[in-house]
Structures are given as structure tokens and as C-alpha cells.
Amino acid sequence: MSDSGRPNKRPDPDSAEFSRLLLRLGVDHESAWREYERLRRRLIKFFECNNWGDVETLADEVLDRVAKRPDVEQIRSVPEFAIGVARNVSKEDYRKQQRERHFEDGPGGADFAAGESDPANEIVERIDSEARMACLEAALARLGERDRSTVLEYYDSSGIKQHVRRKILAIRSGSTMNALRVHMARLRERLEREVSECLEHRRRLAARRDSGSRRCP
């Protein structure tokens, strides 16, 4: 830390990208630097709370990525956006550590590099899949009982062939196949919209939780 209280590791002040970032953080040079330092400390705290190693390097990586965004002037809240980037950097760093550990601690590292599944990737994908399933279940629960039953049967792939099941479903519901398809397209559009809204809501809550607390999560 320098005598002025600014971090010793500063970005290039002549960088066009960094200048644009500073303009988003403060109305003048000094206030912008204060906001920059405050944001950097916040990012360091985020990585410390999540037990990450080189927290200062990771915080600088986040700030560098934010500064290089071509649309940085349009970002509504730079601190909130930076926390979102920090979460992505955390995932990337975790995957990198897992790959390195795999090469160091076990045989078959070359096979893994050649295309075996990445355990870290599988974890992230499973979390995303579980969140999507929870959102879908919530959206289905909001349908009427008849529509919910129809959706589950229409997309069921077990047992008899799907096209046969759908014909039976149309007959049982007293409609034509075309009418059933139109109705299902509307229900599917509704479900996809509600699932997308649910996932976005979950992301906003996670970002708010990560950025709004000074305590370790």
C-alpha cells in the first residue's frame, strides 16, 4: 500500500479500458480511485470468504475483465456486475485447481486431458441442472391439475411409443391431435418462460447474497 492509501499494484492509468471503468466509478479522479479501491477490497473479501488462494490476483483478474467490457458504460451497477464476474472466476479457478490436482495425484492425466469428463464441470452442471429442475417443478405446480397431468403424459417417453400415447391422450381429452399440439405449445411456452424467470431470480438472489454481506457465506 502506498502513502496515499492506494494499492501498490495499479492498472495502467493510460489504459483506455481502465479510464472508462474509472468514469463509471466516480465523478472525478480521486473519488473514482476511492471507489475502485473499495470495490477491490470487496472482491478480495469475497474470495477470502470462499477460501480461495491468491485472492488479490483473483480480484485484479475480475477488475481487468470488467474494465475490458466494451459496454462497461452501460452496466447499471459495476460493483454488482463485478461480483457476478467474481463468481465465474471462482468456478474457473476451481476447475483449474481440480485439473492440476488430477495430473499431480493420480494416473491417467494424459487421458483426462484428451477428453475424459472434468469432475469440476460435472459438479457445476449438476448444480445448474438441479436448479432448473426445481424451477420446472415449481412451474408445473402452478398449472391446473388437468394441464399438469397432460404435460407429464404428453412428454413421457417410457412405455408405449410417444406418438401413440399422444393420440390416446387427444382422444381421452376429446380434442384433435392438432388442437392438442397447439395447447401443448402454449403450455410449453409458459413453462419455459417461468423457468427462465425462476433461474434469473435465483441468480439475482445469489449475487445479492454474495455482494451484500461482509460475512463469509
Q: What is the pLDDT of residues 44-78, one digit of tens each?
A: 888 887 766 678 888 888 998 988 888 777 788 88
Residue 8 confidence class, pLDDT cut points 50, 70, 90: very low
Q: What's the confidence (pLDDT) of residue 37? A: 92
Q: Is residue 68 part of a domain?
A: yes
Residue that finishes a domain, picked among 109, 137, 160:
109
Mean pLDDT of the chain: 75
Residues 103 and 142 in one domain: no
Q: What's the confidence (pLDDT) of residue 125? A: 59
Residue type, 214: R
Q: Is residue 2 part of a domain?
A: no
pLDDT score of 140 more than 80: yes
CA distance 99 to 93: 10
Assess contact for 39 and 64: CB atoms under 8 A: no
Q: What total number of domains does the chain contain?
A: 2
pLDDT score of 10 more than 70: no
Q: Is residue 25 part of a domain?
A: yes
50, 61, 79, 183 from 89: Cα distances, Å: 12, 8, 15, 42
Q: What's the confidence (pLDDT) of residue 174? A: 86
> Where in the sequence is the domain holding 171, given as residue range(s)?
119-212
Top pLDDT among 34 and 156 is at: 34
Q: What's the confidence (pLDDT) of residue 210? A: 57
Residues 20 and 104 in one domain: yes
pLDDT score of 106 more than 60: no
Q: Is residue 147 part of a domain?
A: yes
What grid cell was written down for 123? 459438479
Give Cα 120 to chain centroid, integer Å.
15
Q: Is residue 7 part of a domain?
A: no
Give Cα 115 to chain centroid, integer Å.
24
